[in-house]
Amino acid sequence: MTAAQQLADSNWTKTKPAEPGAYWVRGFRAEVGAPNQHALVEVGHDDEGVLCCNLHVDTTDDDRTFWYEIQQLDPSFEWCGPLHPVPIERRSA
């Protein structure tokens, strides 16, 4: 499946992630007029086993102290995932 196929409208849901992985999320910037802007986020468990994600300014930060708990995120956000790696095709020389 290509990245474009993963982002097709039919793959988006308002059901929040229930397992760790990589997800696309959109709707988090609706208040500033960008409802379809999407971001790639990581979803994982914090030290207490609570599912959370790194939807913040520094989305590469591994310090889960600053991550948001999934249950606290706006229910209007849309999610696509968990994503599976897209194989890189070998090119002939």
Within-domain flag for 11: yes
Q: What mean pLDDT comes out for the span 6-30?
A: 86
Q: How far apart are CA 41 and CA 54, in angstroms?
A: 6
Query: From CA 51, how far away is CA 62, in angstroms rounded?
Result: 14
pLDDT digits (tens, 9 = 90+) for 38-88: 888 889 998 899 999 988 655 555 666 678 899 999 999 999 999 877 666
Q: How many domains does the chain have?
A: 1
Q: What is the pLDDT of residue 60?
A: 52
Q: Which two tokens stand for residue 65?
A: 């102290």
More confident residue, 36 or 24: 24
Structural domain of residue 23, as residue ranges? 3-80
